[in-house]
Structure 1
Amino acid sequence: MPGGRLTQRDRQRIAAGLADGLSYAEIARRLERPTSTISREVSRNGGPVGYRPQQAHQATAQRARRGTPIPLRAATPPVDAMAGEIIEMAVRTGLPRMTARVHIDLLLSEDGRRTAAELTRRLQVSPASVSVAVNYLVENGYVRRERDPQRRRDVYVLDDEAWYHSIVIGSQQTLETAKAATAAVEAFGPDSPVGQRLAKAGTFLERVIQDMLESADRWRALLS
């Protein structure tokens, strides 16, 4: 019941909420619990990446029986907690949670490669969720898609050059915005308040992005 101990069903709903990319606050609202209860539950039991409802429920029962705290899942590697922190930072910058989970899983993998099936299994989410996430990452240059001809399936790869490509793609998108603002100046009139505002914005964005692209080219060799 709301306000009491978390039930196994509550923990299953928490896991489902994490898989769907919900924030702790939204999960808490749906369960009618304090946000601190959800964040504490997840952090104690593997973090956003490693949270498993059945194991979390068993660990809580063991703590209650023993009356003293016990370590988190022995099988949970320290990287889970670190990944959870990185994911939260990525989400705060505006990246969708599911996309952030996929990106960080690729980033922390040994060779920076995963198939869609591997991502689905590791993150315990639906293939559709993984598909949406990897499509976003591919379109924005964070990962690239390769074809495995032997197994007839796609492999998603994050290499060192991904950081460069993501900056270039993002910059090009911002340049399109700058060009649109500049083009709209004539429609409103260059001497009108709106026209002047758009002209300043377009010029500012264009100069900043050009500097960013030049900087990315200058330091690209660091990724080699």
Structure 2
Amino acid sequence: MPGGRLTQQERQQIALGLADGLAYAEIARRLDRPTSTVTREVMRNGGPLGYRADLAHRATERRAHRRRQAAPRGSEAPPRAQGRDTEAMRAYEETLTTVFMQSGMPKMTSRVMVCLTLSDDGSLTASELVQRLRVSPASVSKAIAFLESQDLVRRERDEGRRERYVVDDDVWYQSMIASARAIAQIVEITRQGVGVVGPDTPAATRLENIARFLDFVSESTVRAAEQARDILYVKPDTTAE
């Protein structure tokens, strides 16, 4: 299987595949590349509707040039934990970022979420995020604000009184519960609409069906989240062999 950066010819094939309505997996198969490579390439260069092979190729060259220029200034990202493949980690970070973006999360927010998730402690300060991602403090602050609004991160103070942003198992549980509460609110408002549009009307039936469906989803979400937290969570093994 070929490795390394995509060539301009491969990018042209991706553009043709998108124009023909092919799935990412099929385009990847024709290129003999991982599906994640094609997905990441398209999502970071305009998406399936805005992808242009020539623009994507020039953008990649500009990013590579900026990285080469930045290296002598000592702004390299901190070294990875011993034993991890740096290139494999970088590729996985990009893939996970792409998945978060496809779920509706903004790009910078996705990058911050991935950085927190893949840190062994599950927590970083604002300055550490700025250093690792090579972005401005304002970009990190905006991303954190979004993640907090979704209950996906929480703030803590360390021994030095520095503020840290934390992502752990319980954060995802809290986010699911918050999502269930939001759905429950939709259920309540939807049922109020039945009286407004008048009972025994097609609109009332539609609203009631929506309410029943979302009510079931909300209750199932809470039940599944609570069961998962109690049964499935695995704590890191800190015992030395």
User: Same fold judged by TM-score > 0.5?
Assistant: yes
SS in 2 for 1:223: coil
Q: In the aligned structure 2, how far is the partner of 1:214 from the partner of 1:125?
A: 39
Of 171, 175, 178, which residue of structure 2 is paired with 1:169?
178
Contact kept in structure 2, 1:24 and 1:39, CA below 8 Å:
no
After superposition, what is the alpha-carbon deviation per residue over 1:18-61, rounded to whole angstroms, capped at 9, x for unaligned?
xxxx94117xx7xxx9346526964x99xxxxx55433589xxx
Query: Equivalent residue for 1:94?
Result: 104
The CA distance in 1 between the partners of 2:219 and 2:123, in whole Å, is 32
Contact 2:45 2:52 in 1 (8 A): no
Are 2:220 and 1:202 aligned? Answer: no
Structure 2: which amino acid aligns with 1:107? T
Q: Calculate percent identity across the aligned residue pairs.
A: 32
**Whole-angstrom CA distance in 2 between matches of 1:162 and 1:40:** 39
How does the TM-score come out when normalised to structure 2? 0.64
Structure with the bigger RCO (C-alpha within 8 Å, sep 6+) is 1
Contact 1:25 1:35 in 2 (8 A): no
Q: What residue number does 1:156 align with?
A: 165
Gaps of at least 5 residues in structure 1 are 5-21, 46-50, 59-74
- Give the Cα–Cα distance (whole angstroms) in 2 for the partners of residues 178 and 157 of structure 1: 31
Q: 1:39 to 1:134 in 2, by over 3 A?
A: farther
Compared with structure 1, are the counterparts of its residues 35 and 166 closer, same or farther at alpha carbon in structure 2 (3 Å cutoff)?
farther
2:66 pairs with 33, 50, 54, which one? 54
Would you say how many aligned residue pairs link Structure 1 and Structure 2? 177
Partner residue of 2:115 out of 105, 113, 124: 105
**SS of the residue aligned with 1:125?**
coil
Q: Which amino acid aligns with 1:132?
A: K
Q: Distance in 2 between matches of 1:94 and 1:171?
A: 18
**RMSD across aligned positions (CA):** 3.1
* 8 Å contact from structure 1 (residues 161, 223) kept in 2: no
In structure 2, do the counterparts of structure 1 residues 39 and 95 end up closer, same or farther at CA, with 3 Å as the change threshold? farther
